[in-house]
Amino acid sequence: MNLIYNDAMLCDFYEFTMGNGYLKHGKKDTVSCFDLYFRKVPDQGGFAIAAGLQSVIDYIKNLHFSKEDIDYLRSKKLFDEEFLAYLATFEFSCDVRAIPEGTPVFPNEPIVTVKGPAIQAQLLETMLLIAINHQSLIATKAHRIVKAAKGRPVFEFGSRRAQGNNAAILGARAAYIAGCAGTACAVCEQLYGIPAVGTMAHSWIQMFDSEYEAFRAYAEQYPTACTLLVDTYNVLKSGIPNAIRVHKEVLEPRGYKLNGIRIDSGDVAYLSKKARKMLDEAGLTDCKIFASNSLDEYIIRDILSQGAQVDIFGVGERLITSKSEPVFGGVYKVVAVEEDGEMIPKIKCSENVEKITNPCEKEIWRLYSNTTGQMLADLIAVRGEEFDFTKPIELFHPDFPWKRKTFENYTAKKLLVPVFEKGKQVYESPDAKAIKEYCAEQTSHLWEEVARFENPEQYYVDLSQKLWDIKRDLLMKANVKQGN
């Protein structure tokens, strides 16, 4: 079944019921501010990688409701004609700010903020969360895997295991901007310029009467890009010897070399060491060893610590699905609402402390050491709040305010950039390659203690004194209202 639909309708139904209610109760044009943020880094890591902003931009630029959409909503017999007429002539007019893709981000920091008429800001919720949650999750996982490979190229090989075609395509893009060298997904090169690569499947070899004949046919067809899959039958007794034979009988006489061999099963550490020895003894010292087969950051780290002679990794299902922790957990919460021309802070209380929101329109400042260039801390402040960053600044832990630290000799940079102003796009995303380079540069400013896989050091993300005071006062008022 070929599903064709309008992205505007990929929306939780309650967004429509709330929108209809906002209009009915005179809140259609009430200016509201929402934050999209996440609460916990996947895999108990120290940071995440922001991704998905381009999808957000594409969605907003095409945000409209067709006659078929309006007819469907009318058929539910829940919505006023005035609301349906509003949707039929919908024009986006919100301000949107966001942290650029490829930036390291931390829990409770707004990745995207939306400010504008309540109905519009509310309707964005589902698609914004889909885009940012999915792509930030895959980018974060990919960065961990690339880090584990210690400079060896990692290719994303997961299309066939992704949860749908969009997940395959956008997941490959997210993996690339986080550091992967390329993808097996051909359409991603067409769309984003991401290098698409591939060798052969076991079926190619099984189509021929022998492994040697399959290797020979492939080498004759692709002499300049010949990488042979050597584990269909037996890596050491059959695959490697036949690969060496094809090099000597087919490629070398024509002035070519065997580019590589791929191992897709078995003990990769052991097999790669044996394969390296056999290839070197045959004079194929430049032949690369490519490993695949259900890899992730932990397996890659372990086999390299065991001396694996792998030059390139292909990582599939555990990357494209972030198998170890497949939920990013981003949320979209209202933080301020206009009343009589003034933005009034709003807070959501909860029995779970981690679910209590940070109120107000916000700004995020990132502090960098002028000496080392390393990231020191992030400061979440009330938007418009002024600081003298030429002087030392004391920050404190928002949950344990007695824990304080003074920073000197630093540079402060804003993280949120304007994307839409009054509904008009004012930001152009860089291409995927430029975002990848930016991500590599930004993550290089992280302390190794924050970037390690197990028990990473917690990075400082603090609230300004003004924001902390507002939050505390709102919590106290909420407590009084509850009669506690």
Mention every residue, 6+ apart, whose C-beta is less than 8 A from residue 433.
193
d(CA 358, CA 72): 37
Q: 239 in a domain, yes or no?
A: yes
d(CA 314, CA 474): 50
pLDDT of 440 above 80: yes
Q: What's the number of CA atoms in the CB half-sphere (13 Å) around residue 38?
A: 26
300 and 264 fall within a common domain: yes
What proportion of the chain, given as a percentage, has pLDDT over 70? 99
193 and 289 fall within a common domain: yes
pLDDT of 120 above 80: yes
d(CA 264, CA 231): 6
120 and 158 fall within a common domain: no
213 and 297 fall within a common domain: yes
330 and 474 fall within a common domain: yes
468 and 334 fall within a common domain: yes
What is the mean predicted confidence (pLDDT) over 307-330?
Answer: 97
pLDDT digits (tens, 9 = 90+) for 185-223: 999 999 999 999 998 999 999 999 999 999 999 999 999
Boundary residue ending a domain (320, 338, 363): 320
49 and 164 fall within a common domain: no
Boundary residue ending a domain (320, 337, 352): 320
Structure tokens at 31: 């200016």
Q: 145 in a domain, yes or no?
A: no
Q: How confident is the model at residue 352 (pLDDT cuts 50, 70, 90)?
A: confident
pLDDT of 449 above 70: yes
Q: 374 in a domain, yes or no?
A: yes
Instruction: Tell me the backbone φ, ψ of residue 233, rounded to 5 degrees.
Output: -115, -65
pLDDT of 391 above 90: yes
Predicted local confidence at residue 419, as pLDDT: 98
Give pTM, 2 decimals: 0.96
Predicted local confidence at residue 199, as pLDDT: 87
For residue 247, give the CATH number of its domain: 3.20.20.70
Task: Please name which of 326, 418, 411 lies closest in space to residue 53, comparing C-alpha atoms.
Answer: 418
Predicted local confidence at residue 202, as pLDDT: 97
267 and 402 fall within a common domain: no
pLDDT of 273 above 80: yes
Task: Please name which of 161, 435, 137, 443 lies closest in space to residue 295, comparing C-alpha atoms.
Answer: 161
Size of the chain, expressed as the number of residues it contains: 484
What is the mean predicted confidence (pLDDT) over 224-248?
Answer: 97
Q: 1 in a domain, yes or no?
A: no
216 and 275 fall within a common domain: yes
269 and 225 fall within a common domain: yes
Task: Please name which of 302, 272, 294, 299 lies closest in space to residue 157, comparing C-alpha atoms.
Answer: 294
Q: 144 in a domain, yes or no?
A: no
Boundary residue ending a domain (320, 353, 378): 320
What is the mean predicted confidence (pLDDT) over 142-169?
Answer: 96
Predicted local confidence at residue 2, as pLDDT: 65
What is the mean predicted confidence (pLDDT) over 218-238?
Answer: 97
For residue 332, give the CATH number of its domain: 3.20.140.10
Amino acid residing at 375 = M
Amino acid residing at 363 = E
Q: 373 in a domain, yes or no?
A: yes
What is the mean predicted confidence (pLDDT) over 461-468?
Answer: 96
89 and 221 fall within a common domain: no
Q: 467 in a domain, yes or no?
A: yes
Task: Please name which of 189, 197, 161 lies closest in space to residue 173, comparing C-alpha atoms.
Answer: 189
Q: 2 in a domain, yes or no?
A: no
13 and 92 fall within a common domain: yes
Domain, as residue range, for 277: 151-320
State how many domains the chain has: 2
pLDDT digits (tens, 9 = 90+) for 393-417: 999 988 888 989 999 999 999 999 9
